[in-house]
Each structure stands twice: as C-alpha cells, then as structure tokens.
Amino acid sequence: MTTLAERSSAMAPNPAPMLAALQAPAPRPEMASKLRLYGQFVGSWALEAEWRSLEGPVRRAEGEWHFDWVLDGRAVQDVWIFPARRLRRSDNAEPWHIWGSTFRWYDPPLDAWRIAWFDPSRGFELRQIGRAQGADIVQIGEDRGGLLHRWRFLDITAESFRWLGEASWDRGASWTQILEMWARRSS
C-alpha cells in the first residue's frame, strides 16, 4: 500500500484541466493594487507551527503553505498542511492534523476581503472578513457554533511572516491563542 506522501510525490507535473483552468498567472491588472494584500503571499512557504489544544499537549511540527492566483487573477487560494506531507506516516490523520484550503477574494463595495476556509477532513468551514490593520492583516469570523475566530498575519516581510490563530468565547473581549506559525518563503 502506498502512503499519502508517496501518492503526492507521484502526481504528474502538469496539472489536470480543472487545475489549469483554476490557476491564473497573475492578478487582474485593474485590481492589482487591491489584490496585493494577499497576493504578496503567492508562492510556497515552509512553516514552524505550534498548535495549542485546549484539552491536550502543545503540538509542534513543520508545515507547508502554498498560495496562488486563481479564477482569472481575481482571487488568491491557498492550501495549508500541518504537519507537512513528508512528515506524515500514514493516511490516518491525528486529531491535530490539518489539511485545508482558503479562498480569498476582494469585495470592492465592502473594501475588504471575503474569506472562506475549509478543512474537509473535519467538516469545518469558517467565513471571515480580512483587512489591513497598519502593517498587519486581520481576519475575523464566526463559526457555526458562534465562536469568534481571529487570524492575523504579523511581522510581514517578502521572505517571512508570523501568523496567529485565536478564538474568543466572550464576543471579542478577550482572545485565546490556538495556533502560531512562523513562515519562511521556500519558493
């Protein structure tokens, strides 16, 4: 039996027709200045991640994050994997393993980004609104259970950034850190 990592590395270098139609080479020129907020992350990133379970131990592992232009250059989509594929031992994911995708598009009337994150292995979906706040990017949304989630990109440079995932059980009066990642560009 082949492992998940072996199947992933055996994938053909040329994308399937659907993936070729999804991917875009660049942002739409007329929207490029607004699309830069998340467009600056297009490429691949190596992660050092620390996941803080409320019920269990802190988990530390390497992860990977891949961003690209999609849908005629009108949106940015990513795939986020923790721990990285090369570190997974089998197809049986641990409860703290995550493999999901985020779809982000700029909404001109709102002057903000609409964001949809989903992790099919958990049946989890989260919609957020993202905006620049000074030099940072802040995304806030509420899950189906009413829990607020705040995700922040901090200390952003061309080659690195820090990301914090936080939750609030009191409608934003206080925040509990769930996940912290340090990213460095790998391509």
Reduced to 3 states (helix: H, G, I; strand: E, B; else coil), residue 139 is: strand
DSSP secondary structure, 19-87, as one string = HHHHB-SS--GGGHHHHHHHHTT-EEEEEEEEEE-SSS-EEEEEEEEEEEEETTTTEEEEEEEES-GGG
Q: Report the alpha-carbon distance of residue 4 to residue 88 in Å, rounded.
A: 8
By C-alpha distance, which of 108, 35, 112, 111 is closest to 77?
35
Question: Hey, what CATH topology would domain 4-185 get?
Answer: Lipocalin (2.40.128)
- Whether the predicted pLDDT of 186 surpasses 50: yes
Kindly report, residue by residue over 62-92, the tens digit of the pLDDT. Answer: 999 999 999 999 999 999 988 888 887 766 6
Domain boundaries, the chain: 4-185
In angstroms, rounded to a whole number, what is the distance separating the alpha carbons of residues 78 and 107? 18
pTM across the whole model: 0.86
More confident call, 88 vs 102: 102
State the Rg of the chain over Cα.
17
User: What band does 135 get if pLDDT is binned at 50, 70 and 90?
Assistant: very high
Q: What is the pLDDT of residues 155-166, one digit of tens each?
A: 999 999 999 999
User: What's the rounded mean pLDDT across residues 128-151?
Assistant: 96
pLDDT of residue 95: 66
Model pLDDT, residue 112: 96
